[in-house]
Amino acid sequence: MTAPTPHTPSARPTLLAVLAHPDDESFGMGGTLALYAWCGADVHLICATGGEEGSVNPELLAGHESIAALRQAELDGAARELGLASVTMLGYRDSGMPGAPSNRHSDALAAQPEEAVTARVVDAIRRLRPQVVVTFDPIGGYRHPDHIAIQRATVAAFFAAGDPARFPGDLPPYAPQKLYYHTFSRAFLRAIVRLMPVFGRDPRRFGRNQDVDLASLAEVEFPIHARVDILAVAAARQRAGAHHASQGGGSPLFRGPLGALFQILGGRETFMRAHPEPPPGLRETDLFAGVRW
């Protein structure tokens, strides 16, 4: 999928997700993206890197010239399942996990000046004109350098896009109305951490490359301001995730009893509202609540 041409404002709701790697759109907030697309919104994705790092089963590379090409093909399939209106690739290189030598690659996202990445996101916001922008929480979900880098650039871009003095160019300024951080419910994470050993899984070695420590993440608290019920589109989210076979999508972890528990406990996706500042006790069920048309 390719980026659309600039368009003028309309009554059609528009959501922009700004994420780091192919698969972030499916495994994190895939239900929310699918739900709003299913309800008729224009849902766009910015993917900052090609996801080149990490190991991949050799048989999955058949017909693909590189890991990046494989990950692009997986993303294309997932985007169709989620109903995304467009996918914009920023073209940075995957930085790898914290401390990896790939963090210092000259093309790695984590090695780029934040101002330069912010300018790219500002351009996309002015072109797509979303009312709602979503990205990672301040620790990037699981402390991945790319997640943190694109989160910081997105926050800066959200506030800069409406300022004519910031990043002047061919497109007019445009200020989105709401900014959310996707963050996993800590109650959900703690439940998963307790249950995984029952099924022979180590919560400190989660993911395709066993480099995510769910137990430590469950200890970091973020407020939850919005809970989006995604059960109606759970099948679409699951199909999108299955396209990311190189990252464990469709693997036994997501099938059988443990997979069923993920579905039951993960029937809602949760978000922290960053802008407008949430009032005490805010509980939203719709990211577009209060949006002006």
pLDDT in tens, 49-80: 999 998 888 999 999 999 999 999 999 999 99
Q: Is the pLDDT of residue 212 over 50?
A: yes
Which helix (DSSP H) or strand (DSSP E) does residue 121 occupy? helix 114-128
Q: Please, are residues 254 and 237 in contact by the beta-carbon 8 Å criterion?
A: no
Q: Which residue has the higher pLDDT, 194 or 291?
A: 291
pLDDT digits 0-9 by tens, 3-35: 444 444 456 899 999 999 999 999 989 999 999
Q: Please, are residues 236 and 81 in contact by the beta-carbon 8 Å criterion?
A: yes
Name the average pLDDT for the chain: 90
What is the structure's pLDDT at 6?
A: 45
What separation, in Å, do the N-terminal and C-terminal C-alpha atoms of the chain show?
27
Per CATH, the homologous superfamily of domain 14-274 is LmbE-like (3.40.50.10320)
Q: Please, are residues 15 and 43 in contact by the beta-carbon 8 Å criterion?
A: yes
Q: Which two tokens stand for residue 187?
A: 């109650």
